[in-house]
């Protein structure tokens, strides 16, 4: 489990296709504190650490299945690509965002951006199958970042990103056309399931 509060910006420093895709991600996390088998959210995807090292700087390796590549924006990763990172939640940690599983539901697209004061209003287009799960003032995880939905218009929804978030995540580099990992709110998923079950 995660909270959608990004704690590091990692950099893809190697990619290798051998069965699954293996990615090496440079990080500022102390790698001697990362256990093999630990879960780290990488742009919102819960991935398992399979190796670590400290040269030329701290890094960890993850293996990424074809299913994960197909369902997320990972297929567009290149060496030098920067990604949002979050370590798994520990019992007693502050829950600053919302409950995030790290299981990406689909890929949204940035269709518009405009400055509002120092903040930026982003408009995203969600896949049609996921649009019904997104509600005004609800939560979504976008590239692993817990964000509040401002408004919804069909499959499009708006989010306001403040300067602090742009500074400590990859959102300061985002542009129209970017494909973004989307995880809908777990509560919305269960409410929809209960509604569908009750209607039987």
Give bridge partners of residue 106 from the DSSP assignment.
182
Lowest-confidence segment of 19-23, 44-48, 178-182, 189-193 by average pLDDT: 189-193
Give the tens place of pLDDT for each residue, 101-110.
899 999 999 9
Which residues, other chains included, contact 46 with Cβ-Cβ below 8 Å and sequence gap of 6+?
A: 2, 39, 40, 88, 101, 102, 103
pLDDT at site 191 = 74
Q: In this prediction, what percent of the chain has a pLDDT beyond 70?
A: 96
Cis upstream peptide for 56 (omega within 30°):
yes
**Each residue of 128-149: b (16+ CB within 10 Å) or e?**
eebbebbeeebbbbbbbbbbeb
**pLDDT the model gives residue 193:** 67
191 vs 10, residue with greater confidence: 10
For the record, the structure tokens of 115 come out as 């400055």
82-125 pLDDT per residue, tens: 999 999 987 666 777 788 889 999 999 999 999 999 999 999 99
Q: What is the pLDDT of residues 47-69, one digit of tens each?
A: 999 999 999 899 999 999 999 99
pLDDT at 1 over 90: no
Q: Are 23 and 50 in contact (CB under 8 A)?
A: no
Quick check: 185 pLDDT over 90? no
Looking at residue 99, what is its pLDDT? 83
Local confidence band at 15 (pLDDT 50, 70, 90 cut-offs) = very high
CB 101 within 8 A of CB 183: yes
**Could you read off the pLDDT of 20-36 as tens digits, one per residue?**
999 999 999 999 999 99
pLDDT recorded at residue 126: 97
Going by pLDDT thresholds of 50, 70 and 90, the confidence category of residue 198 is confident
Mean predicted lDDT score pLDDT of the chain = 93
Residue 44 pLDDT > 90: yes
Please indicate, yes or no, whether the overall pTM of this predicted structure exceeds 0.85.
yes
pLDDT exceeds 80 at position 190: no
């Amino acid at each position: 489990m995660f909270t959608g509060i990004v704690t590091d910006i990692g950099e893809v420093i190697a990619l290798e296709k051998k069965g699954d895709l293996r990615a090496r991600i440079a990080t500022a996390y102390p790698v001697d504190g990362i256990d093999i088998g630990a879960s780290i959210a990488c742009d919102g995807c819960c991935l398992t650490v399979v190796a670590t090292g400290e040269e030329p700087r701290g890094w960890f390796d993850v293996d990424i299945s074809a299913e994960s590549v197909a369902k997320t924006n990972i297929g567009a990763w290149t060496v030098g690509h920067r990604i949002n990172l979050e370590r798994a939640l520990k019992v007693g940690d502050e829950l600053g965002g919302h409950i995030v599983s790290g299981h990406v539901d689909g890929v949204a697209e940035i269709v518009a951006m405009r400055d509002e004061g120092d903040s930026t209003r982003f408009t995203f287009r969600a896949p049609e199958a996921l649009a019904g799960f997104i509600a005004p003032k609800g939560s979504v995880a976008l590239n692993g970042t817990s964000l509040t939905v401002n408004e919804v218009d069909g499959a499009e929804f708006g989010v306001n990103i403040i300067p602090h978030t742009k500074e400590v995540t990859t959102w300061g580099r985002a542009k129209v056309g970017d494909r973004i990992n989307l995880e809908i709110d777990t509560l919305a998923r269960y409410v929809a399931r209960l509604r569908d079950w009750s209607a039987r």
